[in-house]
Amino acid sequence: GENVEQHPSTLSVQEGDSAVIKCTYSDSASNYFPWYKQELGKRPQLIIDIRSNVGEKKDQRIAVTLNKTAKHFSLHITETQPEDSAVYFCAARTSNNTGKLIFGQGTTLQVKP
């Protein structure tokens, strides 16, 4: 079945450094790849997404890249700040009728001041 693998499971960086989280997906028909940020005890919130017709998208300090051939996409956070500390989830949506969204296992990012 469809599967999304996410790495690393935990990531600790110094404030101001960059953080990179990587995901791979199994369903080659996937066409939408969102990233969610979940702070402790709160709901997941969309921070950026990318569709399969583009290779890169950037929003201020956050960027996502997509390699459809390798079925791989990544989240890049530059100039990290303590408030970036949270759990980040990648997801992939299939292009079939249901548009099922499959999530990765999550990455706990800690930004040390």
Partner 1 sequence: EAEVAQSPRYKITEKSQAVAFWCDPISGHATLYWYRQILGQGPELLVQFQDESVVDDSQLPKDRFSAERLKGVDSTLKIQPAELGDSAMYLCASSSGGAGELFFGEGSRLTVL
Rule CB under 8 A: which residues touch partner 1? 4, 6, 32, 34, 42-46, 49, 89, 91, 93, 97-106
Backbone angles phi, psi at 56, to 5 degrees: -155, 145
In contact, 13 and 80? CB cutoff 8 Å: yes
Tell me the two tokens of residue 21.
Answer: 């989280």
For residue 85, the minimal CB distance to partner 1 (Å) is: 16
Q: How many CB atoms lie within 10 A of CB 72?
A: 14
Task: Choose between 15 and 46: whose C-beta lies nearer to partner 1.
Answer: 46
Task: Choose between 6 and 80: whose C-beta lies nearer to partner 1.
Answer: 6
For residue 68, the minimal CB distance to partner 1 (Å) is: 17
Task: Choose between 29 and 46: whose C-beta lies nearer to partner 1.
Answer: 46
For residue 67, the minimal CB distance to partner 1 (Å) is: 21
Gyration radius from the chain CA atoms: 14
Tell me the two tokens of residue 85.
Answer: 């500390």
